Amino acid sequence: MQHLIDIASLNSASVLQLFSRTDSLRRQMPPQPLAGTAMVNLFYEASTRTRVALELAGRRLGMDVINVQSQSSSATKGESLIDTFHNLCAMGIRLFCLRHPQVGAPHQLAEVAPDGVHIINAGDGVHAHPTQALLDAYTLREALGEVSGKTIVIAGDLRHSRVARSNIALLNMLGAAEIRLASPEAMKIRPLPPGNLVEFDDLDSAMPGADAVMMLRIQKERISELEIPHGDAYYRQWGLNEKRLALAGADCKVLHPGPVNRGVEIASSVLDGPQSLVLQQVRFGVYVRMAVMLEMLSAQSPSNQEC
Amino acid sequence: MQHLIDIASLNSASVLQLFSRTDSLRRQMPPQPLAGTAMVNLFYEASTRTRVALELAGRRLGMDVINVQSQSSSATKGESLIDTFHNLCAMGIRLFCLRHPQVGAPHQLAEVAPDGVHIINAGDGVHAHPTQALLDAYTLREALGEVSGKTIVIAGDLRHSRVARSNIALLNMLGAAEIRLASPEAMKIRPLPPGNLVEFDDLDSAMPGADAVMMLRIQKERISELEIPHGDAYYRQWGLNEKRLALAGADCKVLHPGPVNRGVEIASSVLDGPQSLVLQQVRFGVYVRMAVMLEMLSAQSPSNQEC
Amino acid sequence: MQHLIDIASLNSASVLQLFSRTDSLRRQMPPQPLAGTAMVNLFYEASTRTRVALELAGRRLGMDVINVQSQSSSATKGESLIDTFHNLCAMGIRLFCLRHPQVGAPHQLAEVAPDGVHIINAGDGVHAHPTQALLDAYTLREALGEVSGKTIVIAGDLRHSRVARSNIALLNMLGAAEIRLASPEAMKIRPLPPGNLVEFDDLDSAMPGADAVMMLRIQKERISELEIPHGDAYYRQWGLNEKRLALAGADCKVLHPGPVNRGVEIASSVLDGPQSLVLQQVRFGVYVRMAVMLEMLSAQSPSNQEC
């Protein structure tokens, strides 16, 4: 695996190999296998959880992790992303974790990346966030035994969610029986991606028989004019509360990629309740990203040799 | 010591133990005793000195130190502090150094912290800044032999100063004979905390017999409407100049938690003069924080094992 | 070498020694020779390339590198640069890489720096950027065999360029035959520094016989009222395109300190073409800075001992 741009970078065998590596990392941490390798977190959007998880994953593997955030970067002097990338490559950086508001930005970098330089897409516009989908699927597998044959609801602001798109692709690849997409009209994904997808116009109807439900945050920063019910009205119609969750039963698991808006898309009692896997997702997210990094980089010589 | 939220987290025996550990660290640095442990500097207010001192302390002990600052964090997406904290805990972070504008924020985290996760309050509103008080007391002990029985003046903007509140509590715990509080009416602490406190309406009267004087910065960012003398007038009445310092004598030590506004609360000649311990405070501050971190974390297994 | 403030901190022997050290570092990286030493990147201006290159150089040598950027620093509380510096020194920081908008800021720090504390000027206003000049000269030496006897064109916004000033001084020190300065009237350097300088009012006339040409970015952030041709007009008159480069011949090398504005001061085809050394500059920049750091710090005891 040279890059991880979207789920199309993977196949089911490579995903299972990543999950197996993740299992090993949880059992025993290797002593700094990537020491001497340099990684950059190149973030053009605000982030805490993803940036910290990637930084921590990189450091635990022994890498030198350098943060570059757009606010204080040469982007303000007019340099293009590609030129910034080439410059950082020239310095010997071997791994780039890129978050960017533009769809396709990590793909652009991958196209011009030299041998031995790797890109992890940490979220590009509404397109993809593949490490989030990997950690979600890993979490589901831990909780449900396997993803294959399961029925998963994804609900809320699907249209503006790169997480939803990556999850649909990955759950499909792993053999989910049915992926149910529940959202208001203004938040439906268009065009609809391929897969065993069923759309729902309300959340209640989507719940019965679900093995897990993934709730999504309203991406306020991506919606200019809101054509959706506001505040309490949204929560009444689309929020996952205990009563709604009960429609799926006590074994149905609850996921959320975070950050969570309590009382908007999900009730606190559900988020903090026994069916929630939300903190498991975060916990496994560090290990899954370490597995991806090792997969990409462990066969290589360290970057502190001249290239 | 699981957390250090305010001076009430300590007693005089635990303080002396910390000071003894600080002494040892100054004599000999152990080789990375906390390697494999991850710490976050979670700062919701601007800071250089405290943030860098904590980062340096953590790194010298071998920790992976990750900075999270509010400007570029998920706080901008509406996530609560508690949820951010739970997420970072789930990633395996073992130590949180929190600076927050709201009184009680670190206490909130401590209430929900899992076993093995520690909080250091790096300043919460006007409430407390306990590591600053510890380094101040350590510096006084180095200079004066002991704190017990000494007379200490704290002068300036007491009302808005978390440093003042933590110092009053700690100096009292360590047996200071008298703590003199000198400030304009609008800057007096209300309600007055317990202790051997004597209030003064001018600085000149507070100086005779003082073993040390701690000057405080006017917390301009916390004062909306200034009911105090402005600029030169403040300096004339409340600034520590050489003449005023002479009222206490040549053995009286001068402290300031920084950042300093020269010519406002203190004369440059005093700040840079032979009685000033200001840079000693900063120097000892790194060691004192290392001692706190070791006290909290050294008995634990490293965080790169799954929790 | 205690500090590197501008080219006057060096002589030709010390430059050749740095270059020889750079050669060694490229051949073989020593295992963390500066472990236990702490360095601060103290940046009061936006930067990606220089900040990352310095951070990477420091980390590869094993240092603890701490970033301090003005936006979130105590500068906003009114502390002076000198006081910030003294505080960081007191914490045991041994190396400061300072970028500051004011000419002379690093010199101010050097004047008050304690023994064993070192300053690298990472750019001060329009004055100097000596590590950039060193990496430029190293790159030229790699490409041309030596700098001595060569003819170098420096073109574009000379007036606002600290890079130009440092390059003029260093190329002159290393025995360049002729340094040609080509720029519009409003961008000429005044007063003209000493050296074998020849000024040109157009770029075409400066090209014939040149061994290398260094293009400069228009420092928009330093020009309030632009007395220069705008946009396309600037590019037509002053942009380095293939036709212009051909006036110097196929052996003429092209340099640019970055960030580059493609289609303003340089054509993409030239920047990405076979005569361009721009990414070589960036690549060598990490090694040159490591050489400077080793030169300054390798004879010292590590900073995690009390000073």
Would you state the pLDDT for residue B76? 52
The dihedral built from the CA positions of residue B228, B233, B236 and B241, taken in this order, carries a sign that is positive
* pLDDT 10s digits, B238-287: 999 999 999 999 999 999 999 999 999 999 999 999 999 999 999 999 99
Tell me what the mean pLDDT of segment A64-84 comes to. Answer: 77
- Tell me the percentage of chain C whose pLDDT exceeds 90: 84
Asked if the model's pLDDT at residue B300 lies above 70, the reply is no
- pLDDT above 80: residue A49: yes
Mean pLDDT over B82-110 rounds to: 96
> What is the pLDDT averaged over residues B204-215?
98
Tell if the CB–CB gap between B59 and C38 is shorter than 8 Å.
yes
Residue in C with minimal Cα distance to B32: C36
The pLDDT value recorded for residue C224 is 54
Minimum distance, in Å, between the CA of residue B158 and any CA atom of chain C: 17
Q: What is the pLDDT of residues A77-92, one digit of tens each?
A: 567 899 999 999 999 9
A7-125+285-297 placed in CATH 3.90.1150.10: no
Point out the residue among A36, A77, A89 whose CB comes nearest to the CB of C259.
A77
- CB contact under 8 Å between C286 and A88, yes or no, is no
The shortest CB-CB distance from C279 to any of A71, A75, A86 is to A86
**Can you give the residue ranges of every domain in chain B?**
7-125+285-297, 130-276
**SS in 3 state form for chain A?**
CCCECCHHHCCHHHHHHHHHHHHHHHHCCCCCCCCCCEEEEEECCCCCHHHHHHHHHHHHCCCEEEEEEHHHCHHHHCCCHHHHHHHHHHCCCCEEEEEECCCCHHHHHHHHCCCCCEEEEEEECCCECHHHHHHHHHHHHHHHCCCCCCEEEEECCCCCCHHHHHHHHHHHHCCCCEEEEECCHHHCCCCCCCCCEEEECCHHHHCCCCCEEEECCCCHHHCCCCCCCCHHHHHHHHCECHHHHHHHCCCCEEECCCCCCECCCECHHHHCCCCECHHHHHHHHHHHHHHHHHHHHCCCCCCCCCC
Considering chain A, what is the average pLDDT of its residues?
92
Write down the pLDDT at residue B304: 43
Contact C48 A84 (CB under 8 A): yes
Chosen CATH of B130-276 out of 3.40.50.1370, 3.40.630.20, 3.40.50.300, 3.40.109.10: 3.40.50.1370
pLDDT grade for A303, boundaries at 50, 70 and 90: very low
Residue A56 pLDDT > 90: yes
Confidence of residue A229 (pLDDT cuts 50, 70, 90): confident
Measured CA to CA, the distance from residue B221 to residue C156 in angstroms comes to: 44
Mean of per-residue pLDDT scores for chain B: 92
Q: Please report the pLDDT score of residue B73 as a whole number.
A: 47
Same CATH fold assignment for domains A7-125+285-297 and A130-276: yes
Distance from CA of A245 to the nearest CA of B (A): 21
ipTM strictly over 0.90?
yes
Q: What average pLDDT does this structure show over C9-28?
A: 95
Contacting residues of B for C83, CB less than 8 Å apart: 258-260, 262
**Under an 8 A CB cutoff, do C79 and B221 touch?**
no
Which band of pLDDT confidence, cut at 50, 70 and 90, is reported for residue B303?
very low
Contact A88 C280 (CB under 8 A): no
Chains that contact B by 3+ CB pairs under 8 Å?
A, C
Task: For residue A46, name the pLDDT band (cuts at 50, 70, 90).
Answer: confident
Q: Say if residue C161's pLDDT is above 70.
A: yes
| Chain B residues within an 8 Å CB radius of A47 | 72-74
Contact B52 C91 (CB under 8 A): yes
* Per-residue pLDDT, A174: 97
Of C38, C79, C90, the CB nearest to B282: C90
Q: Is the pLDDT of residue C280 over 90?
A: yes
Smallest Cα distance from A77 to chain C, Å:
7
pLDDT digits (tens, 9 = 90+) for C50-83: 999 999 999 999 999 999 987 644 455 567 899 9
Q: What's the pLDDT band for B219 if we cut at 50, 70, 90?
A: confident
Whether the predicted pLDDT of B220 surpasses 80 = no
| A36: chain C residues, CB-CB within 8 Å | 29, 60
The residues of C whose Cβ lies within 8 A of any Cβ of A are 26-27, 29, 43, 46-49, 52-53, 55-56, 59-60, 69, 71, 217, 220-221, 258-262, 279-280, 282-283, 285-287
A138-150 per-position pLDDT tens digit:
999 999 999 999 9
CA distances from C9 to A188, A232, C104, C271 (A): 64, 66, 14, 32
The least confident of A240-254, B44-58, C212-226 is C212-226
Q: Write down the mean pLDDT value for chain C.
A: 92
Q: How far is C298 from chain B (nearest CA, A)?
A: 19
Chain centroid to Cα C102, Å, comes to 16
Q: For residues A152-159, give the mean pLDDT.
A: 97
C→B interface, C-beta within 8 Å: 36, 38, 40, 64, 66, 68, 71-80, 83-84, 86-93, 304-307
